[in-house]
Structure 1
Amino acid sequence: MLYTTYEDYTNVTGSDFVKQLEKQAEEKGIKVLSLDFIFGFRHIVTDKVITNPEDLKGLKLRVPASKLWIDTFNALGANPVAMPWSETVSALQQKVIDGTETTFSFMSNSKLYDLRKNVALSGHFLGTGGVYISTKVWDSFTDEQRKVIQEEITQAAIDNNKKMYELDEDFKKDIVKNGMILNEVNLEEFQKRAKKVFDEFPGFSPDIYEKIQNEIKK
């Protein structure tokens, strides 16, 4: 519940704030080559129109078996049910769960439009990936090798994210064509509910929510 666009995320990863974090990682032996690989926002799929967090009350939503996911959906007011994705379609068919949360690509590829019709555009999680290497290995390369590796990794992230924009539109068109209805949510209310996760989650830095929000505003 931090970012609303891909640019929000990449602007933060390019900020002085994150560069300082990368330096701290390097002191621990981890060289960060890129944080910018994006794999799409996740949204809520149900048969009920979800606009505000109150609309999630009592709904059984499939989530991955991750404390972060479970804590987030508890904070939003839902009843998260942790299960593997391989069991999700049958659970939806048998109405063991009311809905799930996932990306446009999974909605399309798994034909979730045959099982549930509403998509609340919550964008509650943004899937991202990074590329890291041991500083010992990195230091063993020549300057020229490091230059080439860094350039290629940076360009790969740019190409990946450009492709993600295209895929998002393709998958979105497909699910709408097959009967899914997309609706906006009261994002501010969702963000208010989710903030407690940042305050309480083990290992998160104090005030990290405010720090990242400040970087987005910059």
Structure 2
Amino acid sequence: MKKIVLGTIAAAMLATAGLAAEYVMKVSHVVSASTPKGKAADFFEKRVEELSGGKIDVQVFPNSQLYGDGEEMKALVMNNVQLIMPSLSKFTSIAPQMQLFDLPFIFRDKAHLYNVMDGEVGTILKSKINEKKQMMAMDYWDAGFKHFSSSKQPIINPEDAKGLKFRIQSSKVLEAQFKAVGGNPQVLPFSEVYSALQQGVVDATENPLSNFYTKKFHEVQSNLTLSSHGYLGYLVVMNTKFWNSLPKDLQANISQAMKEATELERKESSIEDEKIMEALKTYAKDTNKLEIIELTPEQKQQWQKVMADVYPKFYDVIGEDLIKKAIDTK
């Protein structure tokens, strides 16, 4: 009898706990839960529910379970989902100034990158998104620096890129970047890149290590140059209507959880890069099918000098002052 009574009390407590959630926040993303982005989203869910005392029920949907890559932005605007974290390139049509992140060699290293994101420049760029009313920029998450790869010849000096067909994302900056070194940029959906490299439709590409390795591009590219010339990241955005519906204390809970989730995501991204680099070095050693090239500071300077010509072409679009602020950030 005692067990039955205790069971009834436990069930009643669980039911009450379920009723305690005053708000439901759906979080959608398109990658695996095991990725840095996926881990951070799950951590965010846990922390919001803890900090809010269960008043906010966060539901995370990974792997495009709820919305695909091309649908999630529209779903956010309609408040069908309350939080998403698309790649920065998805926002350039909303705020052309976001193309700053595509500029080659604008970030000296990870510390400089994070100082730009978390400082005045990052705040200005977020405000451009916030002006659109239906979405609010929360924070920047990390996918890593991009590197050159090729199946033709090692890409060491700028002249090595001449005549190569480079796969790029749709971006005027990336187009100008490869034209500056005599390359032939080709816009292709990411899902088609492996077969395009395999069949010789394109010769070369640029990717962070995670994309290069998980999509097995190392199987169809013979050279990887650790150039860190470009950057790929995410912007975490929330539906403004949902945010405004929350009382101040719950908004503070979400902001705190987001701050902690951002720290975790960036840390996980660096850890993943280190693991992948080791795996690629092992693959290169075991198969002799991949050459990994590290550029010297002098070689990087050659690239920077040639690609500096790209910047003035986007002063009107991105803002000369904003570009200079990013470069000058300590």
Tell me which interval the TM-score lies in, with the shorter structure as reference length: 0.7 to 0.9
Structure 1 residue aligned with 2:269? 164
Q: Is the 8 A contact 1:65 1:82 kept in 2?
A: yes
**Aligned position for 2:59:** none
Please, which of 149, 152, 157 is the counterpart of residue 45 of structure 1?
149
Within 5 Å, give how 1:1-218 maps onto structure 2.
1-20=105-124, 22=126, 26=130, 29=133, 31-35=136-140, 37-47=141-151, 48-133=153-238, 137-179=242-284, 180-185=290-295, 186-201=299-314, 203-215=317-329, 218=330
Change (3 A) 1:86 1:128: closer
Q: Secondary structure at the match of 1:51?
A: coil
Distance 1:97 1:214, change over 3 A: same
Query: Structure with the greater relative contact order (CA < 8 A, sep ≥ 6): 1 or 2?
Result: 1
Deviation per CA, 1:67-120, whole angstroms, max 9, x where unpaired? 232222112331112222333222222223222221212222232222222111
1:22, distance to aligned residue in structure 2 (A): 4.6
Taking the aligned partners of 1:84 and 1:8, their CA distance within structure 2 comes to: 30
Quote how far apart the aligned CAs of 1:176 are: 1.8
The Cα shift of 1:193 comes to 2.7
Q: TM-score scaled to structure 2, two decimals?
A: 0.59
Counterpart-to-counterpart distance in 2, 1:90 and 1:13: 34
Change in Cα spacing, 1:113 to 1:23, as seen in structure 2 (3 Å) is closer
SS at match of 2:167: strand
| Partner AA of 1:181 in structure 2 | E
SS at match of 1:169: helix
Q: CA–CA distance in 2 between the matches of 1:63 and 1:20?
A: 27
* SS of equivalent residue, structure 1 residue 116: coil
In 1, distance between residues paired with 2:122 and 2:192?
Answer: 37
Judge conservation of contact 1:38–1:160 (CA < 8 Å) in 2. yes
Q: How far, CA to CA, are the matches of 1:18 and 1:169 in structure 2?
A: 26
Once residues 139 and 87 of structure 1 are traced to their aligned partners in structure 2, the CA distance between those partners, rounded to angstroms, is 40
Unaligned 5+ residue runs, structure 1?
A: none
**Deviation >6 Å, runs of 4+:** none
**Equivalent position amino acid for 2:148 in 1:** I
**How large is the Cα RMSD of the aligned pairs?**
2.4
What's the CA shift for 1:4?
3.7
The answer on whether the counterparts of 2:139 and 2:235 sit within 8 Å (CA) in structure 1 is yes
Alignment deviations for residues 12-47 of structure 1 (CA, whole Å, 9 cap, x no partner): 122244445555665664643212x00111111114
Structure 1 residue 10: Cα displacement: 1.2
Task: Give the 3-state SS of the residue equivalent to 1:205 in structure 2.
Answer: helix
Q: 1:84 to 1:138 in 2, by over 3 A?
A: closer
Please, what TM-score do these two structures have when normalized by structure 1? Answer: 0.85
Rounded Cα–Cα distance in structure 1 between residues aligned with 2:323 and 2:163:
27
Structure 2: runs of 5 or more not aligned: 1-104, 285-289
| Residues 4, 177 of structure 1: alpha-carbon distance in 2 compared, 3 angstrom cutoff | farther
What count of residue pairs does the alignment treat as equivalent?
215
**Structure-2 separation of matches of 1:207 and 1:53:** 28
Once residues 74 and 60 of structure 1 are traced to their aligned partners in structure 2, the CA distance between those partners, rounded to angstroms, is 10
When structure 1 is superposed on structure 2, of 150-159 and 63-72 the one drifting more is 63-72
